């Protein structure tokens, strides 16, 4: 049984989230503030963490950053804010996905299942020792490591998954909705900010000149492609 940590200070919301997840046969634990959530998250007992942004003691941004330093499990941010800058900041700190309040419990469960399934598929890929090399970029799928000019670069979970998907489908053009479905595991639901943020962060890490990318090319009106 997969175990999920909910870090949420609103007891009513946390209870609803727990009930729906338990109906779907997840084991659930709740932490009601940032510090206790961080402590429980770092225990390594959980398969996924559902993290609210607005928390007492330590906000969700700080908790996410500290969790990501130690963990590679999926982290989903929950936010009542609608500003893109908050979403971009959260994704930049290592969150894999986010969901806006108010949300239907069914959508929440679906997003959690999709992120867990994608993480498990990725974990299975990493067990098969192989390397993918295009130009000066090399991915070792056994160790989940990426090298540019033989120097290792650190990628967050979804940055790695997105790069791997693009390099496995070199020269193919994908729109944002398709990339979200393939990498995050479900429909984009009309929000493309997640993909755009991860594309930009990948370019910063693997391109010599992110403003004029050699590898991850924008095909205007169509999407993105990885050039071989």
Which residue from 39, 51, 88, 58 is spatially nearest to 194, judged by alpha carbons?
88
Reported confidence tier of residue 221, pLDDT bands at 50, 70, 90: confident
Q: Residue 167 in 3-state DSSP? A: helix
d(CA 225, CA 217) in angstroms, rounded, equals 5
pLDDT on residue 16: 92
C-alpha 195/C-alpha 180 separation (Å) is 6
- Residues 9-23: pLDDT tens digits? 999 999 999 999 999
CB 4 within 8 Å of CB 28:
yes
- pTM (2 d.p.): 0.64
Q: For 203-220, how does the pLDDT look when each residue is reduced to its tens digit (9 = 90+)?
A: 999 999 999 999 999 998
Please give the full DSSP string across 114-151, using - where no structure is assigned: HHHHHHHHHHHHHTS--EEEETTEEEETTTTEEEETTE
CA 115 centroid distance within chain: 8
pLDDT at 150 over 80: yes
d(CA 110, CA 183): 15
pLDDT at site 129: 47
pLDDT value at residue 187: 58
Which whole number is the average pLDDT over 150-163? Answer: 91
Which percentage of the chain shows pLDDT scores above 90? 49
Q: Please compute the mean of the pLDDT values over residues 177-205 and round it to a whole number.
A: 81
Measured CA to CA, the distance from residue 35 to residue 187 in angstroms comes to 33
Average pLDDT, the chain: 86
Query: Given the structure tokens 């989230």, which residue do they identify?
Result: 17
User: Residues near 92 by Cβ (< 8 Å), separated by ≥ 6?
Assistant: 197, 201
């Amino acid at each position: 049984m997969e175990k999920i940590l909910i870090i949420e200070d609103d007891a009513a919301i946390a209870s609803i989230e727990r009930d729906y997840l338990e109906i779907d046969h997840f084991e659930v634990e709740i932490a009601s503030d940032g510090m206790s959530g961080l402590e429980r998250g770092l225990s390594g007992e959980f398969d996924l963490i559902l993290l609210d942004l607005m928390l007492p003691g330590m906000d969700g941004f700080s908790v996410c950053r500290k969790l990501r330093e130690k963990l590679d499990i999926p982290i989903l941010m929950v936010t009542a804010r609608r500003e893109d800058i908050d979403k971009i900041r959260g994704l930049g700190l290592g969150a894999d996905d986010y969901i806006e309040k108010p949300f239907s419990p069914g959508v929440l469960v679906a997003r959690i299942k999709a992120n867990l399934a994608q993480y498990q598929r990725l974990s299975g890929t990493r067990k098969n020792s192989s390397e993918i090399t295009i130009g000066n970029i090399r991915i070792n799928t056994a160790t989940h490591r990426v090298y540019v000019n033989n120097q290792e670069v650190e990628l967050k979970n979804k940055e790695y998954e997105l790069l791997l998907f693009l390099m496995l489908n070199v020269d193919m053009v994908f729109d944002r909705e398709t990339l979200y479905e393939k990498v995050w595991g479900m429909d984009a639901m009309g929000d493309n900010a997640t993909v755009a943020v991860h594309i930009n962060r990948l370019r910063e890490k693997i391109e010599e000149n992110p403003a004029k990318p050699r590898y991850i090319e924008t095909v205007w009106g169509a999407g993105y492609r990885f050039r071989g």
